Chain A
Amino acid sequence: MRDELLSIIEKNSRIDLKELAVMLGVGEIDVVNELCALEKEGIICGYHTLINWEKTSIEKVNALIEVRVTPQRGKGFDHIAERIYKYPEVKAVYLISGGYDLLVTLEEKSLKDIAMFVSEKLSGLDSVISTATHFILKKYKDHGTILSVHEEDQREVISP
């Protein structure tokens, strides 16, 4: 049940508990218990909403920043990663294999705010060697969801 439960609520975290139980073919209480367990085990880390901000009047600018750092003795990359992810404007931090070390995604109100963050906060950290900032111009798909395309059912209305 666990895998199927996770794959349903990954797509729709607002689904009704009763409905979830019916779809999985188990009791409602089992679903509640499993969800509690998943939260406790840190497998479910949050219930977020995917918003297409472009359609609102609120301005948001997103950037992906490649960061090269010097790992610290005994702490590897974890320590420097923590110093970066503690900033609330940082949306995600990933350790990356390849040409650079950390990928940081940042959300701010304006280009200027991003520039300020990179130059004053990020570049100033001791172990940061270099950064490369990429601005996101348009989001086509996010979290597995294609944004802003509404597709009509193209099938014939009745077929054998």
Chain B
Amino acid sequence: MNKFLAENIVSIKPSGIRKFFDIVSEMKDAISLGVGEPDFDTPWHIREEGIYSLEKGKTFYTSNSGLKDLRQEISNFIKRTRGVSYCPDNEILVTVGGSEAIDIGFRALINQGDEVLIPQPSYVSYEPCAILAGAVPKIIQLKAENDFRLTPGELLSAITDKTKILVLPYPNNPTGAIMTKDDLSKIAKIIVEKDILVMSDEIYAALTYDGKHSSIVEFEGMKERTLLIEGFSKAYAMTGWRLGYVCGPKEIIAQMTKIHQYAIMCAPTTSQYAAIEALKNGDNDVKEMRTAYNQRRRFLLHRFKEMKLDCFEPYGAFYVFPCIKEFGMTSEEFATKFLQDEKVALVPGTAFGESGEGFLRISYAYSLETLKIAMNKLEHFITKLRQK
């Protein structure tokens, strides 16, 4: 059978998370801190709007690019959060999660052999999606000493004359790192000068704990060379609704819309109606969830300090990324042994790229009670390791 399979997909490794998932699923009473989605339910008024749309029989396709009202709300939202105007008619496309936008964004832009710069550790799908689109991925290994931010130096030394796109994944999964306005202004300058594009994945933008999220599109000359990817999953706890969107130059959006039209048709209609409600009346829910995440974030960092576990202070998403290099084990060894000994599942940093070696991703999309128990177990585990 193998001879029939497409070589480019066969050569891609399955997600590193999958392997770990299989071990954890076998263990019944394990506590997991390995989830990359909110623990909150979608706020009821948003769900109610989805249900109501079903009751009214809104069960048909929408236009390819998404409901007009939704695109208008998205435009208003981006204007009020980023200060940049996108035309709902031709600069916004509603997609099946941010993930679809990543995929079709590459497909709309890549010619065989174009280089895509991917800073890692980062979300698992940039590299495979770029490869499937025919790109040559160039990995930028982010460093802990820079708090996993992308520095101008790292960017400059990665750019070649084949470079077409920089992926900018901030606030970052798995490190929780953010880019400040100052960091971004230096990056923006280089991008414009070198005439390349940016795919800015800002799916975690609403979950920023140190002031307001900054976006690269806010800088001079960047709106016309950026695909801004956003969505509802993280901010409004709507992962299962599968709804995201992309804003960008109309020429690129037009090409992406073609792929979307032929591959997907349109994003789920029920989700689109619910999303209108989220954008119109959901600010307070986001604020409440963000406050709760921030309390847990502070709690985890405090516990790390108590157990003298090295971790930089992350200001975004709902992850912390402590360093475990002192124990002389790989991330995977540490995570596997921790799971066996204490029955707590974490994700090894290497699932998000080689530069995640020596780190663990801990999600705080869990109740404080769960986090408390898990941190006690972690303390017990590392105390034992240190005694050896």
Contact = CB atoms under 8 A, between A and B. Distances in A.
Contact of B299 (A22, A155, A157, A160): A22
A66 to B, nearest CB: 28
Nearest to B288: A7
A24 B209 CA distance: 12
Given A4-B291, A22-B298, A158 B17 contact: yes
B35 A156 contact: yes
Contacts of A159: 17, 21, 34-37
A9 B174 CA distance: 31
B299 A23 contact: yes
Given A4-B291, A153-B39, A158 B299 contact: no
A25 interface: yes
A95 to B, nearest CB: 28
A130 B24 CA distance: 64
A135 B84 CA distance: 56
B77 interface: no
B295 A160 contact: no
Interface in B284-300: 291, 295-296, 298-299
Contacts of B299: 19, 22-23
Interface in A16-72: 19, 22-25
A157 B36 contact: no
Chain A interface size range: 10 to 19
Contacts of B45: none
Nearest to B370: A153
Given A22-B302, A23-B295, A158 B20 contact: yes
B104 interface: no
B26 to A, nearest CB: 10
Contacts of A7: 291
B25 interface: yes
Interface string A119-160: 000000000000000000000000000000000010111111
B15 interface: yes
A139 to B, nearest CB: 19
A38 B15 CA distance: 51
B345 A8 contact: no
A25 B295 CA distance: 8
A114 B135 CA distance: 77
B289 to A, nearest CB: 12
Given A19-B299, A22-B298, A23-B298, A156 B21 contact: yes
A156 B17 CA distance: 12
Contacts, number: 53
A158 B345 contact: yes
Contact of A160 (B17, B30, B32, B345): B17
Contacts of A153: 39
A158 B123 contact: no
A150 to B, nearest CB: 13
Nearest to B125: A160
Interface string B263-283: 000000000000000000000
Contacts of B39: 153, 155
Given A22-B298, A160-B15, A155 B37 contact: yes
Given A8-B295, A23-B298, A157 B124 contact: no
B294 to A, nearest CB: 8
B347 interface: yes
B247 interface: no
Nearest to B291: A4
Contacts of A158: 17, 20-21, 24, 32, 34-35, 345, 347
B172 to A, nearest CB: 13
Which of B125, B173, B295, B351 is the most central at the interface, judged by chain A CB atoms within 10 Å of its CB?
B295
Contacts of B37: 155, 159
Given A4-B295, A159-B36, 19 more contacts: A4-B291, A23-B296, A25-B298, A153-B39, A156-B21, A156-B35, A157-B21, A157-B30, A157-B32, A157-B35, A158-B20, A158-B21, A158-B24, A158-B32, A158-B35, A159-B17, A160-B123, A160-B125, A160-B351
Name the 6 nearest CB pairs between A and B, nearest first.
Answer: A23-B295, A158-B34, A158-B21, A22-B302, A157-B32, A159-B36
Interface of B: 15, 17, 20-21, 24-25, 30, 32, 34-37, 39, 123-125, 173, 291, 295-296, 298-299, 302, 345, 347, 351, 368
